[in-house]
Amino acid sequence: MIEGLLIGLQTAFSLQNLLMVIGGCLIGTFIGMLPGLGPMSIIAIMIPVAISMGDPSAALILLAGVYYGAIFGGSTSSILLNAPGVAGTVASSFDGYPMARQGKAGKALTIAAIASFMGGTIGAILLMVFAPALSSVALLFHSAEYFALMVVGLSAIAAFAGSGQVAKALMMTVLGLIMATVGEGALFNLPRFTMGIMDLQSGFGFITLAMAMFALPEALFLVLKPREMGDSGEGEIKDLRINAQEAKAIAPVIGRQSLQGFFIGVLPGAGATIASFLGYAVERNIAPREEQEQFGKGSIKGLAAPETANNAACTGSFVPLLTLGIPGSGTTAILLGALIALNVTPGPRLMLDEPQIFWAVIMSMFIGNLVLLILNLPLIPYIAKVLSIPRNYLIPFILFFTMMGAYIGQNNATELLLLVGFGVCATALKFANYPLAPLLIGFILGGMMEDNFARSMQLYDGIAFIWERPMTLALLVIAAILIVLPSFRAHRARKRSMEVADGD
Amino acid sequence: MALDRWIALVLLGICLAYGYAAWFTMDDNLAPFMRRNPIWPSTFPKILSVLGIIAASVILLGLEKSEDTKEAEIDYRRLGEYKTGQAVLLLVLMVAYALCLRPVGFLLSTTVFLIAGSFILGERKWHVMIPVAVIATASVWYLVQEVLGIYMRPLPGFIGG
């Protein structure tokens, strides 16, 4: 591990990569602050840039920097304007915005910066410990287990989607898998489902789909329903310091939430959003009664908890990506797509075959967190100015950048028409409360899943691998349980509440 | 019927069409030697089509009760109250941009796109719109063409760009 660390340090501390981290964090922070642009959209927009750099470690470092920056930027606008740019920072606005209203905006931003820094750093340490262990287990996996593991991952994403959403998330996942089968499969060299259209021969472009699923609907939502921007955050930002008493109050919160957030982030499908809400809820429940009253009215604990948790969870979500090659969230799914485009296959072999990439990413997490802390504390007042870009200029630019992202990747104008078409479909799906991330994850995993499935089918001459390999069977059983469990529990809860109602 | 179930109906149709192709038409032109394989190109799609049909039916029939009827960010039932016209115009503009990018060239079509985009959104300060669009177009073109080295036809085709 020490050797790996040194390789990582060497790679991450090259001038180019340092610039990448700093640039990525800055871009992420500034764009992440804009309401309506989440980390997924920003990373999707940055992918063409990253891919054309050609160096996978630099590209991944840049994208990871953007990811952190975006989460931090999102908390800035949550706190100052009550307009979270990212779903993962919605919980930060519960207590951050009341603090800003009380004239403690500076303090709130400082707490957010410190909590994010601690969450991200502790998360990175945990990643260093757990990723190698997990990947040595993962090396025992064969294609059958891989297939089963992807089934588990996809079902977990559906299962964590929330009550009443499981079928929808499942539907979206299947739709993503279906879309992945369009085009020429590597295994058979036969065009499938192209309907004779030449442009579909190579399948749907993944960047096009990512833009259409996230950036475009968000931009259209901004057009449809203009949110108030830039009025309430005008007040002077001063008094950045926190005192010793406050530091003492939030230290245990940060400790707990780093751990909790990290492990939630590791779970597929959970991610920063759930981690931050859960972190907020847990801290409110275990706080003493008099402090519970403060939650929602500007409690520093209520701000520190979601901020720590969402950053730790971002780091945690890299674990399944780097060790198993299976993304647990929409954002890491996009990162996975970028890596594949750069000819890097994340998975257990990554640590052995290309340790410099693996360790450089981990090192860049530390650097990224540090850069965010150093850059953001003094820059806080200036950062807030970005929020005053008028939307009349902002929206055309967002649309333009989504189109450029799709165009540069393929150099094909048909891709732009697909982008608009899918974007409209995605907006309709969003209206109807269908989750969009599972679709993209399904799409990205689809190819790999089918390859592994096909390989095990060929090795065992049929589907015998399902019962001849106990681990595969166990994983598939877990997947089935994950899908059935939520509706079973909801059913029981409903039954119980009916009985109670009858008893009255 | 609520929108999500209408969409489920559409998705069910897609899955049925997909399933039809996978189960009945796809294997027709499969080479004979490939038929000895335990896995065919249609195997995985067959499984997917079944899963998709099941999931779409569950949503369509409302088998999964949802407890929380949480308010969506935008209520589609009141779509008329939002700026739907602007959104549609912007989409039309994007399609026009896609169609013009090749024949008209990057520089002109992008500048026009950015100006028209802000115009649709209600901006009328031409002295700001035009310089912003021109500078942005030029710098993006420079970045893509010179820094990233990706060729994009800058000028209209008939000028020879």
Q: If DSSP states are collapsed to H, E and C, what string results for chain B?
A: CCHHHHHHHHHHHHHHHHHHHHHHHHHHHCCHHHHHCCCCCCHHHHHHHHHHHHHHHHHHHCCCCCCCCCCCCCCHHHHHHCCHHHHHHHHHHHHHHHHHHHHHCHHHHHHHHHHHHHHHCCCCCHHHHHHHHHHHHHHHHHHHHHHCCCCCCCCCHHHCC
User: What is the predicted pLDDT for the residue at A504?
Assistant: 46
**Do A351 and A135 touch, CB atoms closer than 8 A?**
yes
Query: Could you tell me if residue B74 is inside a domain?
Result: no
Higher pLDDT, A240 or A361: A361
Q: Is the minimum CB–CB distance between A223 and chain B shorter than 8 Å?
A: yes
Q: Is the minimum CB–CB distance between A404 and chain B shorter than 8 Å?
A: yes
* B65 chain-A contacts, CB cut-off 8 A: 164, 490, 494
Query: Could you tell me if residue B70 is inside a domain?
Result: no
Higher pLDDT, B147 or A260: A260
User: What is the predicted pLDDT for the residue at A229?
Assistant: 44
Q: Do B95 and B127 have their domain in common? A: yes
**pLDDT tens column, A439-455:** 887 887 788 788 888 88
Overall average pLDDT of the A83-106 stretch: 74
User: Which among A179, A261, A255, A263 is positioned nearest to A436, based on CA atoms?
Assistant: A179
Higher pLDDT, A85 or A142: A142
**Residue in B7, B44, B49 nearest the CB of A450:** B44
Can you tell me the distance from the alpha carbon of A306 to that of A300, in angstroms, rounded to the nearest whole number? 11
Contact A193 B45 (CB under 8 A): yes
Q: What amino acid is encoded at A431 in this protein? A: F
Print burial letters for A344-355: b (CB count within 10 Å at least 16), e (below 16). bebbbebbeebb
Query: Could you tell me if residue B52 is inside a domain?
Result: yes
- Residue numbers of chain B with a pLDDT score lower than 70: 1, 65-80, 146-150, 156-161
Q: Do B33 and B86 have their domain in common? A: no
User: What is the predicted pLDDT for the residue at A269?
Assistant: 59
User: Which among A100, A264, A268 is positioned nearest to A280, based on CA atoms?
Assistant: A264
Query: Could you tell me if residue B23 is inside a domain?
Result: yes
User: What is the predicted pLDDT for the residue at A422?
Assistant: 92
Q: Do B60 and B123 have their domain in common? A: no
- Is 0.80 surpassed by the pTM of this model? no
User: What is the predicted pLDDT for the residue at B73?
Assistant: 58
The most confident of A53-62, A159-168, A381-390, by mean pLDDT: A53-62
The most confident of A82-86, A273-277, A411-415, B96-100, by mean pLDDT: B96-100
User: What is the predicted pLDDT for the residue at A162?
Assistant: 61
Q: Do B48 and B102 have their domain in common? A: no
**Residue in B45, B91, B117 nearest the CB of A420:** B91
**Do A483 and A155 touch, CB atoms closer than 8 A?**
yes
User: What is the predicted pLDDT for the residue at A230?
Assistant: 42
Look up the domain containing B60 and give its range. Answer: 3-65
User: Which among B71, B80, B74 is positioned nearest to A222, based on CA atoms?
Assistant: B74
Q: What amino acid is encoded at A385 in this protein? A: K
Query: Could you tell me if residue B76 is inside a domain?
Result: no
Q: Is the minimum CB–CB distance between A226 and chain B shorter than 8 Å?
A: yes
Q: Do B42 and B89 have their domain in common? A: no
Q: Do B100 and B147 have their domain in common? A: yes
Please tell me the total count of domains within chain B: 2
Strand partners, A191: A184
Residue A232 has pLDDT above 60, yes or no: no
Q: Do B7 and B51 have their domain in common? A: yes
Query: Could you tell me if residue B110 is inside a domain?
Result: yes
Terminal CA-CA length for chain B: 53
User: What is the predicted pLDDT for the residue at B92?
Assistant: 93
Q: Do B87 and B141 have their domain in common? A: yes
* B72 chain-A contacts, CB cut-off 8 A: 431, 433
Residue A336 has pLDDT above 50, yes or no: yes
Strand partners, A192: A183
pLDDT band per the 50, 70, 90 thresholds, residue A234: very low
The most confident of A91-100, A310-319, A401-410, by mean pLDDT: A310-319
pLDDT band per the 50, 70, 90 thresholds, residue A37: low
B12, B36, B65 - which closes a domain: B65
What is the sign, positive or negative, of the torsion defined by CA atoms of A139, A143, A148, A154?
positive
**pLDDT tens column, A277-294:** 778 878 887 888 777 778
Residue A233 has pLDDT above 60, yes or no: no
- Minimum CA–CA partner of A406 in chain B: B98
Q: Do B85 and B155 have their domain in common? A: yes
Q: Do B97 and B61 have their domain in common? A: no
Kindly tell me the burial class for residue A99, based on how many C-beta atoms sit within 10 Å of its own C-beta (0-12, 13-18, 19 or more): buried
Q: Do B55 and B113 have their domain in common? A: no
User: What is the predicted pLDDT for the residue at B147?
Assistant: 61
The rounded percent of chain A whose pLDDT value lies above 90 is 3
Chain B nearest C-alpha distance from A392 (Å) = 5
Q: Do B26 and B89 have their domain in common? A: no
Residue A228 has pLDDT above 70, yes or no: no
- Rounded to the nearest integer, the mean pLDDT of chain A is 79
Task: Give me the interface pTM, i.e. the ipTM.
Answer: 0.87
Can you tell me the distance from the alpha carbon of B56 to that of A166, in angstroms, rounded to the nearest whole number? 11
Residue A270 has pLDDT above 70, yes or no: no
Query: Could you tell me if residue B72 is inside a domain?
Result: no
